[in-house]
Structure 1
Amino acid sequence: MAASARKVTAMFVSKIPWTVSSKELREHFGKFGKVRMCRLPFDKETGFHKGFCWIQFNKEEELVKTLQEKHMLEGRKINVQRNIGNSFETEKGNYHD
Protein backbone atom coordinates (compact mmCIF):
# COMPACT_ATOMS: atom_id res chain seq x y z
CA MET A 1 0.00 0.00 0.00
CA ALA A 2 1.36 3.42 -0.89
CA ALA A 3 2.35 5.65 2.02
CA SER A 4 -0.11 8.33 0.92
CA ALA A 5 -3.00 5.84 1.05
CA ARG A 6 -1.97 4.38 4.42
CA LYS A 7 -4.12 5.54 7.31
CA VAL A 8 -2.16 7.18 10.10
CA THR A 9 -2.97 5.66 13.48
CA ALA A 10 0.08 6.81 15.48
CA MET A 11 0.91 9.97 17.37
CA PHE A 12 3.95 11.51 19.01
CA VAL A 13 3.56 12.60 22.64
CA SER A 14 6.01 14.96 24.34
CA LYS A 15 6.48 16.81 27.64
CA ILE A 16 5.61 13.66 29.58
CA PRO A 17 6.39 14.02 33.31
CA TRP A 18 9.25 11.69 34.27
CA THR A 19 7.04 9.98 36.89
CA VAL A 20 4.48 8.78 34.31
CA SER A 21 4.76 5.12 33.26
CA SER A 22 3.85 3.40 30.00
CA LYS A 23 0.96 1.74 31.88
CA GLU A 24 -0.41 5.17 32.84
CA LEU A 25 -0.04 6.37 29.25
CA ARG A 26 -1.95 3.31 27.99
CA GLU A 27 -4.70 3.92 30.55
CA HIS A 28 -4.98 7.63 29.72
CA PHE A 29 -5.08 7.21 25.94
CA GLY A 30 -7.16 4.03 26.22
CA LYS A 31 -10.11 6.31 27.02
CA PHE A 32 -10.07 7.32 23.34
CA GLY A 33 -9.69 3.89 21.77
CA LYS A 34 -7.71 0.66 21.72
CA VAL A 35 -4.00 1.41 22.24
CA ARG A 36 -2.11 -0.99 20.02
CA MET A 37 1.35 0.18 21.00
CA CYS A 38 2.98 2.53 23.51
CA ARG A 39 6.69 3.03 22.92
CA LEU A 40 8.37 4.98 25.72
CA PRO A 41 12.18 5.21 25.21
CA PHE A 42 14.44 5.13 28.25
CA ASP A 43 17.87 6.66 28.73
CA LYS A 44 20.36 3.89 29.52
CA GLU A 45 22.52 6.19 31.65
CA THR A 46 19.84 7.76 33.85
CA GLY A 47 17.27 4.96 33.85
CA PHE A 48 14.49 7.52 33.30
CA HIS A 49 12.35 7.79 30.20
CA LYS A 50 13.18 10.56 27.77
CA GLY A 51 9.92 12.51 28.21
CA PHE A 52 8.34 11.49 24.91
CA CYS A 53 6.65 8.45 23.41
CA TRP A 54 4.72 7.11 20.45
CA ILE A 55 1.18 5.82 20.80
CA GLN A 56 -0.51 3.78 18.11
CA PHE A 57 -4.24 3.11 17.94
CA ASN A 58 -6.11 0.43 16.00
CA LYS A 59 -8.17 2.96 14.04
CA GLU A 60 -7.57 6.39 12.56
CA GLU A 61 -10.84 7.62 14.10
CA GLU A 62 -9.43 6.91 17.58
CA LEU A 63 -6.36 8.98 16.80
CA VAL A 64 -8.44 11.88 15.44
CA LYS A 65 -10.62 11.85 18.57
CA THR A 66 -7.49 11.95 20.76
CA LEU A 67 -5.90 14.82 18.83
CA GLN A 68 -9.02 16.96 19.32
CA GLU A 69 -8.58 16.99 23.11
CA LYS A 70 -6.13 18.68 25.47
CA HIS A 71 -4.24 16.25 27.68
CA MET A 72 -2.98 16.55 31.26
CA LEU A 73 -0.97 13.99 33.21
CA GLU A 74 -0.02 14.58 36.83
CA GLY A 75 -1.15 18.19 36.55
CA ARG A 76 1.01 18.97 33.52
CA LYS A 77 -0.08 19.62 29.95
CA ILE A 78 1.41 17.15 27.49
CA ASN A 79 1.74 17.69 23.74
CA VAL A 80 0.19 15.30 21.24
CA GLN A 81 0.58 15.43 17.47
CA ARG A 82 0.00 13.13 14.53
CA ASN A 83 3.06 11.00 13.82
CA ILE A 84 4.53 11.73 10.41
CA GLY A 85 6.66 9.02 8.85
CA ASN A 86 7.73 5.92 10.69
CA SER A 87 10.08 7.39 13.29
CA PHE A 88 8.68 5.19 16.06
CA GLU A 89 9.76 2.12 14.10
CA THR A 90 13.35 3.29 13.62
CA GLU A 91 14.10 5.06 16.92
CA LYS A 92 16.85 3.18 18.79
CA GLY A 93 16.89 2.72 22.53
CA ASN A 94 15.25 0.95 25.44
CA TYR A 95 11.46 0.84 25.33
CA HIS A 96 8.54 -0.13 27.45
CA ASP A 97 5.61 -1.33 25.37
Structure 2
Amino acid sequence: MALIARRGIRGIYKLYVGNIPWTVSNNELRQYFEKFGPVKSAIVKFDSNTGLTKHFGFVHFFERDTYRAVQAEESHLLENVRLTVSTVTVGIQTPQYEQPNRDSFGRRHQAISDDD
Protein backbone atom coordinates (compact mmCIF):
# COMPACT_ATOMS: atom_id res chain seq x y z
CA MET A 1 0.00 0.00 0.00
CA ALA A 2 1.46 3.35 -1.01
CA LEU A 3 1.55 6.02 1.64
CA ILE A 4 1.44 9.69 0.74
CA ALA A 5 3.19 12.16 3.03
CA ARG A 6 1.00 14.84 4.51
CA ARG A 7 3.01 18.00 4.27
CA GLY A 8 2.15 20.71 6.75
CA ILE A 9 2.23 24.43 6.18
CA ARG A 10 5.93 24.72 6.99
CA GLY A 11 7.02 21.56 5.18
CA ILE A 12 6.90 19.39 8.29
CA TYR A 13 5.87 15.74 8.07
CA LYS A 14 3.85 14.64 11.10
CA LEU A 15 3.05 11.20 12.53
CA TYR A 16 0.76 10.15 15.36
CA VAL A 17 2.37 7.74 17.82
CA GLY A 18 0.09 5.74 20.12
CA ASN A 19 0.57 3.21 22.90
CA ILE A 20 3.57 5.10 24.29
CA PRO A 21 4.75 3.56 27.60
CA TRP A 22 4.12 5.80 30.62
CA THR A 23 7.86 5.97 31.38
CA VAL A 24 8.84 7.49 28.00
CA SER A 25 9.78 11.19 27.85
CA ASN A 26 9.82 13.57 24.89
CA ASN A 27 13.59 13.09 24.63
CA GLU A 28 13.35 9.28 24.61
CA LEU A 29 10.67 9.41 21.92
CA ARG A 30 12.89 11.70 19.84
CA GLN A 31 15.91 9.43 20.29
CA TYR A 32 13.95 6.41 19.08
CA PHE A 33 12.80 8.11 15.87
CA GLU A 34 16.16 9.80 15.16
CA LYS A 35 17.52 6.43 14.06
CA PHE A 36 15.45 6.97 10.89
CA GLY A 37 16.72 10.52 10.28
CA PRO A 38 16.42 14.11 11.53
CA VAL A 39 13.49 14.84 13.86
CA LYS A 40 12.10 18.36 14.23
CA SER A 41 10.19 17.55 17.42
CA ALA A 42 8.79 14.66 19.43
CA ILE A 43 6.02 15.39 21.90
CA VAL A 44 4.40 13.02 24.39
CA LYS A 45 0.98 14.32 25.49
CA PHE A 46 0.30 14.55 29.22
CA ASP A 47 -2.90 15.08 31.21
CA SER A 48 -2.74 18.59 32.67
CA ASN A 49 -4.70 17.55 35.78
CA THR A 50 -2.84 14.37 36.73
CA GLY A 51 0.53 14.93 35.05
CA LEU A 52 0.39 11.38 33.70
CA THR A 53 0.97 10.49 30.07
CA LYS A 54 -2.01 10.07 27.77
CA HIS A 55 -0.02 7.30 26.01
CA PHE A 56 0.14 9.14 22.69
CA GLY A 57 2.11 11.87 21.02
CA PHE A 58 3.35 13.31 17.75
CA VAL A 59 6.65 13.26 15.90
CA HIS A 60 7.52 15.88 13.27
CA PHE A 61 10.14 15.27 10.58
CA PHE A 62 11.92 17.71 8.29
CA GLU A 63 12.43 15.23 5.46
CA ARG A 64 10.00 13.16 3.46
CA ASP A 65 12.52 10.29 3.25
CA THR A 66 12.70 10.05 7.05
CA TYR A 67 8.92 10.14 7.27
CA ARG A 68 8.65 7.32 4.74
CA ALA A 69 11.38 5.26 6.43
CA VAL A 70 9.41 5.33 9.70
CA GLN A 71 6.25 4.22 7.90
CA ALA A 72 8.07 1.46 6.04
CA GLU A 73 9.24 -0.13 9.30
CA GLU A 74 7.21 -3.28 10.01
CA SER A 75 6.78 -2.48 13.71
CA HIS A 76 8.12 -0.06 16.29
CA LEU A 77 9.12 -1.28 19.77
CA LEU A 78 9.99 1.12 22.56
CA GLU A 79 10.71 -0.33 26.01
CA ASN A 80 9.36 -3.67 24.73
CA VAL A 81 6.00 -2.08 23.87
CA ARG A 82 4.70 -2.04 20.29
CA LEU A 83 3.91 1.53 19.24
CA THR A 84 1.06 2.49 16.94
CA VAL A 85 2.31 4.81 14.19
CA SER A 86 -0.02 6.44 11.67
CA THR A 87 -0.26 9.47 9.43
CA VAL A 88 -1.82 12.70 10.58
CA THR A 89 -4.22 14.35 8.19
CA VAL A 90 -3.52 18.04 8.02
CA GLY A 91 -6.62 20.04 7.20
CA ILE A 92 -7.55 23.65 6.85
CA GLN A 93 -9.46 24.93 9.82
CA THR A 94 -12.50 27.03 9.01
CA PRO A 95 -12.61 30.25 11.03
CA GLN A 96 -15.47 30.51 13.48
CA TYR A 97 -17.39 33.77 13.37
CA GLU A 98 -19.56 35.21 16.08
CA GLN A 99 -23.23 34.61 15.29
CA PRO A 100 -25.12 37.33 17.16
CA ASN A 101 -28.59 36.48 18.39
CA ARG A 102 -28.17 32.73 17.77
CA ASP A 103 -28.20 29.91 20.26
CA SER A 104 -25.89 26.88 20.20
CA PHE A 105 -28.16 25.21 17.63
CA GLY A 106 -27.97 28.15 15.20
CA ARG A 107 -31.53 29.30 15.86
CA ARG A 108 -32.14 33.04 15.76
CA HIS A 109 -33.37 34.81 18.86
CA GLN A 110 -34.48 38.36 19.18
CA ALA A 111 -32.14 40.45 21.27
CA ILE A 112 -33.51 41.46 24.66
CA SER A 113 -32.86 45.02 25.72
CA ASP A 114 -32.91 46.57 29.19
CA ASP A 115 -36.18 48.32 28.26
CA ASP A 116 -38.10 45.01 27.92
User: 1:85 — aligned with what?
Assistant: 90
Higher strand proportion:
1
Q: Does 1:46 align with 2:50?
A: yes
Report the structure number with the largest CA radius of gyration.
Answer: 2
How many residues align? The count is 81
Equivalents in 1 of 2:44, 2:32: separation in Å?
14
**5+ long unaligned stretches in structure 2:** 1-5, 92-116
SS of alignment partner, residue 41 of structure 2: strand
More deviation in 6-15 or 44-53?
6-15
**Cα deviations by residue, 1:14-42 (Å, 9 ceiling, x for unpaired):** 00011111111000000011110112221
Moved over 3 A (4+): none
Query: Relative contact order, CA 8 A, sep 6+: which one is greater?
Result: 1
Q: Does 1:75 align with 2:80?
A: yes
SS of alignment partner, residue 56 of structure 1: strand
User: 1:11 — aligned with what?
Assistant: 15
Partner amino acid, structure 2, of 1:7: R
Contact 2:29 2:43 in 1 (8 A): no
TM-score, normalised by the number of residues in structure 2: 0.65
Give the deviation of 1:66 after TM superposition. 0.4
**5+ long unaligned stretches in structure 1:** 1-5, 87-97
TM-score, normalised by the number of residues in structure 1: 0.77
Contact 2:15 2:85 in 1 (8 A): yes
